[in-house]
Structure 1
């Protein structure tokens, strides 16, 4: 990919049938080097045909099929939803052809992290209030609100080493089978957060009569109460007021211990980053996603870990991941999750190609195939070492895949439950997402978005589209942002107070 600042379009691969507009193209615009004249208006980030494409023929971008022409398309025409559609095509899934041994960097880069008493490493230092059921959400929030800086500016003043007290509530926990997968999944998610090193201590608040009994949660997840984990419920404590007072008293005591931490230099191998993209556009697969992929390659070479997710948004591009799988078993696990999603969609009268969103389409993405190919770019080029189910604990280092929905809050919740202590989130249309207890870095795909929404976005990757930086140069900048953020530098979303409402566990099955 060679992007020149004076060129009106971007060609990604010599074999592609389309090029991408760097700015709005007017009818009559001649595309240098393509021998094509634009016919009609083409918005920025959208596709222009550079050769005649017959109806029913596959259309290629990234040298990969992104859809099937719904009608004859002439050179110079805008290619989008009116003339390009989703279509099934044969995909080979060879295993390991592109898996390469990691070329580790020694000595590894370092960041200023927090080491817990049991050896776990944190990038943040929170006290958390979790709920077993939605019925205890109001109490949990009332406890955490007593320590909100915007409501009580002096509450945390004596504890400068504490990042905050957050209540992470949810809408489930009852009216489901006591031995079914939905409850097991919720408990696995809550257990992951209860164990997360970014929490110095956690309270779990229940109602008392819910299906998700706290004792069952502790048993399934192998958790034990102690100085860093406290549990109680409203019915046993004596109602709302007494429960809030009890929780506030506990938090006050826990803050004293939490404040004693000190950051120290640690190798980057202790960083686990969850990879997200939301509000994607036609530039996502050219700028922010491949730049994040370059940063992931650096992180992995320094011994760190990255989690690619959003299973419905790798659909159609999964063959690129099986080629990087370290074993047949890993590739088979990935394909099994995709088959599960096909059955899941069928049960719910949905389809895997029910994507992109309205915003994605406005930004130039036409089919799920095109969106998936761009999304996979944020995983870089290193070998795929494992495939995890939702919220399953991370036990390997390197590039992993976790099965999650494409909905960003649900997907990131699973990643953090698995152990991600940092999130990197690319966006082309704009995002205001944040995530507690893991900080979330947001990356803009284009400079126009950066200039418009710099209040929410941490890194501008639009310089790639502008032709002023390469993918590798921006990848290096992102990697440096990762290290600084893991060392305690606040992200834009943290400064705005995002994080509590974005805890959204995946809800499976019927609610009875």
Structure 2
């Protein structure tokens, strides 16, 4: 029989409903009788004690809010009786010991990856096209149409075939509806394209930030080389981009082809050069083959989006175990989404190996919160309508569950947006909570794979890094099976433990990293890219 409630931490004074609870029913939990006062849907929270106005509400062992109205034991917690609140943090208060996980099962395992000259290893081999400024987006789109049709030869989708059948029917034709062959000219390289709305028109700092992000994509181990288009007069000058590349990797030995339209002249002349030069470079990139690499070469971004009330007790803690295993193996993991770390700062600061890292984390958090307040909002506005509907009623509650993705390992570094990450271990990276902006940033900081948990369903992917989509509950996995790769709902029903789920997930990760499994986001060609625009437009 499935349990009705779960208390995440021994000190919590609220519990999560694992199934729908009916008003008037009586349940027994931790030796106490609880009379359910109103309907409580699965994923939502029930009071384990009486709360007066202003009383502290504890979940995951931390303050996640205060009562804004009286709440009786057995009552439902909602936005009507709870307001966001979190404890203030000024610095490190203790050093947390880490129980290093047993890695015997994994230490001699490998994945089949693409080895780069700088020692990084890619899970993909991508030739990347992108502009330095939005003015070149149309030319990138032209190149995308040309290269995808002639080199990659993608299958036509069912909607295309349906439209063709309707058109042919109207014309009285009976042309074959067979899909185009998926045999590509190049089997060891993918050609991907990025467009964006930046590079000019905003403050200069945004252009420099975009330069660092794009340089990070070029330096990412999943990228074999790049074709870069510049108009010529934009804020993000070619030299700024080159300087950003040099700062990340002074010895970069990847081919980077850069074209300045205003120097070359006509679009026809520029694109003719681009096509010829890029084709030759892609041919060379295609010669690289997958070879064995230790799991220490994994650089994993940890993301959650469309979270629900189960995310923090199933999918996210499973990622936490993965993060600990990868860190123990000598790999890199990245925990970001700073608005969703509000309320758990003390634990994270205490886990920082270097005191300076803890100070930098708090400085970045304070800066970020101030910019949000100056814009007329606050971190308390972070939970989306979907989050709230499915049980995440305060930002601190959402944050405490989101932080579980980072496991328990020491934090070896804290980075600002656009900074490249190489040092083994768990890192904190300052990014927005926005799904695509965050995923975009982690890949720009070096992640060669992203693990993405969701309780509501989101189709986010990335142009150069596999994004593994993980559901917190089995209902979602069944309903939106076309976007979900792994279902952790068995943890909720009690069919699997978190450790068992983590073992299955790491096997899946190895197969994805080796190119043996294609993620659902990749199958859907979900190649999202949104830079974080911090400043205003001028």
Judge same fold: TM > 0.5, yes or no.
yes
Secondary structure of the 1:243 match is helix
Given the superposition, is the C-alpha separation of residues 241 and 44 from structure 1 closer, same or farther in structure 2, using an over 3 Å criterion? farther
Given the superposition, is the C-alpha separation of residues 92 and 173 from structure 1 closer, same or farther in structure 2, using an over 3 Å criterion? closer
Q: Which whole-Å CA distance do the structure 1 matches of 2:23 and 2:443 have between them?
A: 48
Given the superposition, is the C-alpha separation of residues 57 and 410 from structure 1 closer, same or farther in structure 2, using an over 3 Å criterion? same
Q: Which whole-Å CA distance do the structure 2 matches of 1:95 and 1:65 have between them?
A: 17
Find the counterpart in structure 1 of residue 234 from structure 2: 210
Deviations, residues 466-508 of structure 1 (Å, cap 9, x unaligned): 1100111111122222211111121110011111xx1111112
Given the superposition, is the C-alpha separation of residues 104 and 61 from structure 1 closer, same or farther in structure 2, using an over 3 Å criterion? closer
Given the superposition, is the C-alpha separation of residues 234 and 312 from structure 1 closer, same or farther in structure 2, using an over 3 Å criterion? same
Find the counterpart in structure 1 of residue 112 from structure 2: 112
Find the counterpart in structure 1 of residue 154 from structure 2: 150
Q: Which whole-Å CA distance do the structure 2 matches of 1:137 and 1:259 have between them?
A: 26
Secondary structure of the 2:200 match is coil
Which of 95, 98, 102 aligns to 1:97? It is 95
Give the TM-score normalised by structure 1.
Answer: 0.94
Find the counterpart in structure 1 of residue 437 from structure 2: 410
Whether 1:25 and 2:17 are equivalent positions in the alignment is no
Question: For 1:388-399, what aligned pairs fall within 5 Å after superposition?
Answer: 388-399=415-426
Question: For 1:99-178, what aligned pairs fall within 5 Å after superposition?
Answer: 99-100=97-98, 102=100, 105=103, 107-148=107-148, 149-150=153-154, 157-162=184-189, 164-177=190-203
Contact residue 11 and residue 58 of structure 2 kept, 8 A = yes
Find the counterpart in structure 1 of residue 174 from structure 2: none
Tell me how far 1:401 sits from its aligned partner.
Answer: 0.5
Which of 446, 460, 463 aligns to 2:473? It is 446
Secondary structure of the 2:269 match is helix
Q: Which whole-Å CA distance do the structure 2 matches of 1:68 and 1:356 have between them?
A: 16
Whether 1:243 and 2:247 are equivalent positions in the alignment is no
Question: For 1:141-290, what aligned pairs fall within 5 Å after superposition?
Answer: 141-148=141-148, 149-150=153-154, 157-162=184-189, 164-177=190-203, 180-222=204-246, 228-290=255-317
Tell me how far 1:156 sits from its aligned partner.
Answer: 6.6
Q: Which whole-Å CA distance do the structure 2 matches of 1:194 and 1:155 have between them?
A: 27
Secondary structure of the 1:113 match is strand
Q: Which whole-Å CA distance do the structure 2 matches of 1:93 and 1:74 have between them?
A: 35
Find the counterpart in structure 2 of residue 15 from structure 1: 11
Shifted more, 61-70 versus 243-252: the winner is 243-252
Tell me how far 1:225 sits from its aligned partner.
Answer: 9.6
Shifted more, 62-71 versus 283-292: the winner is 62-71
Contact residue 298 and residue 479 of structure 1 kept, 8 A = no
Contact residue 219 and residue 245 of structure 2 kept, 8 A = no
Tell me how far 1:95 sits from its aligned partner.
Answer: 4.7
Find the counterpart in structure 1 of residue 534 from structure 2: 508
Contact residue 383 and residue 399 of structure 1 kept, 8 A = yes
Contact residue 147 and residue 155 of structure 1 kept, 8 A = no
Given the superposition, is the C-alpha separation of residues 166 and 15 from structure 1 closer, same or farther in structure 2, using an over 3 Å criterion? same
Given the superposition, is the C-alpha separation of residues 463 and 119 from structure 1 closer, same or farther in structure 2, using an over 3 Å criterion? same
Which of 471, 495, 500 aligns to 2:523? It is 495
Find the counterpart in structure 1 of residue 42 from structure 2: 44
Tell me how far 1:238 sits from its aligned partner.
Answer: 3.1
Question: For 1:282-431, what aligned pairs fall within 5 Å after superposition?
Answer: 282-431=309-458
Q: Which whole-Å CA distance do the structure 1 matches of 2:277 and 2:389 have between them?
A: 49
Tell me how far 1:382 sits from its aligned partner.
Answer: 0.5
Tell me how far 1:102 sits from its aligned partner.
Answer: 4.8
Find the counterpart in structure 2 of residue 485 from structure 1: 512
Q: Which whole-Å CA distance do the structure 1 matches of 2:235 and 2:411 have between them?
A: 37
Deviations, residues 324-355 of structure 1 (Å, cap 9, x unaligned): 11121111111111111122123322212212
- Is there any run of 5+ residues in structure 1 with no aligned partner, and where? none
Contact residue 63 and residue 85 of structure 2 kept, 8 A = no
Secondary structure of the 2:379 match is coil
- Is there any run of 5+ residues in structure 2 with no aligned partner, and where? 157-179
Q: Which whole-Å CA distance do the structure 2 matches of 1:252 and 1:358 have between them?
A: 47
Given the superposition, is the C-alpha separation of residues 469 and 459 from structure 1 closer, same or farther in structure 2, using an over 3 Å criterion? same
Shifted more, 212-221 versus 317-326: the winner is 212-221
Which of 483, 491, 495 aligns to 1:468? It is 495
Given the superposition, is the C-alpha separation of residues 156 and 390 from structure 1 closer, same or farther in structure 2, using an over 3 Å criterion? farther
CA RMSD across the alignment: 2.0
Contact residue 108 and residue 302 of structure 1 kept, 8 A = no
Q: Which whole-Å CA distance do the structure 1 matches of 2:86 and 2:488 have between them?
A: 32
Contact residue 64 and residue 86 of structure 2 kept, 8 A = no
Give the TM-score normalised by structure 2.
Answer: 0.89
Tell me how far 1:239 sits from its aligned partner.
Answer: 3.1
Given the superposition, is the C-alpha separation of residues 200 and 96 from structure 1 closer, same or farther in structure 2, using an over 3 Å criterion? farther
Tell me how far 1:257 sits from its aligned partner.
Answer: 1.0
Whether 1:81 and 2:79 are equivalent positions in the alignment is yes
Deviations, residues 356-393 of structure 1 (Å, cap 9, x unaligned): 11110011001011011001100011100100111201
Q: Which whole-Å CA distance do the structure 1 matches of 2:275 and 2:155 have between them?
A: 15
Which of 46, 50, 62 aligns to 1:64? It is 62
Tell me how far 1:301 sits from its aligned partner.
Answer: 1.4
Q: Which whole-Å CA distance do the structure 1 matches of 2:365 and 2:472 have between them?
A: 28
